[in-house]
Amino acid sequence: MVMSPQGKGKAMSGLFEKLGGEAAVNAAVDIFYRKVLSDDSINGFFETTDMEAQHAKQKAFLTMAFGGPNSYTGKDMRTAHAPLVAKGLNEAHFNAVAGHLQATLEELNVPANLVDEVMSIAGSTKSDILGL
C-alpha cells in the first residue's frame, strides 16, 4: 500500500482523484518546474546536467503532494536532500518552492480547499527535506 508521508494514504488518493489524477500532475509539473528554474534565489539547487531526470523528480514530488500513488518515504527524502542541506538549503528556500507550488495550483484554477490540502502535504515534508 502506498502511503503519503503522514500516513493518510487512503484519504489522500481521494484528493488525487479530485485534482484530476496523473493528467493534473502533467499539467502542473511544467508550470511548477519552470517557476522554480526561473527563481534565482533557488534555481542553484535545481541545476543539473540531466534536466529530464530533474523534471521527472519534480513530477514524482507533485504526485506525492497531490496525494497520488508514490513510494516516497521520509528517510528517502532526508537522504536525497542531505547534500543540498550541506550546500545551504534552508527554510527560506523551502518556502520559496512551496510558494511556487501554490502559485501553480492557483494558475490552474484548483479550488482553494484542494490547494490547502496539497500545501499541507507539501508542508509535512519540511523537516525531512531540511534535515531538521
* Chain residues in the site for other proteins (CB under 8 A): 29-30, 33-34, 37-38, 49, 51-52, 55
One-letter amino acid for residue 106 of the chain: E
Q: How far is the CB of 68 from other proteins (least distance, A)?
A: 19
User: Any residues with CB less than 8 A from the CB of 42 and at least 6 apart, and which?
Assistant: 36, 93, 96, 97
Query: CB-wise, 35 or 93, nearer to other proteins?
Result: 35
Q: How far is the CB of 50 from other proteins (least distance, A)?
A: 8
Query: CB-wise, 3 or 31, nearer to other proteins?
Result: 31
Residue 11: closest CA among 3, 23, 21, 20: 3
Query: CB-wise, 17 or 30, nearer to other proteins?
Result: 30
Residue 45: closest CA among 53, 54, 122: 54
Q: How far is the CB of 122 from other proteins (least distance, A)?
A: 21
Q: How far is the CB of 14 from other proteins (least distance, A)?
A: 28
102: its cell numbers: 501554490
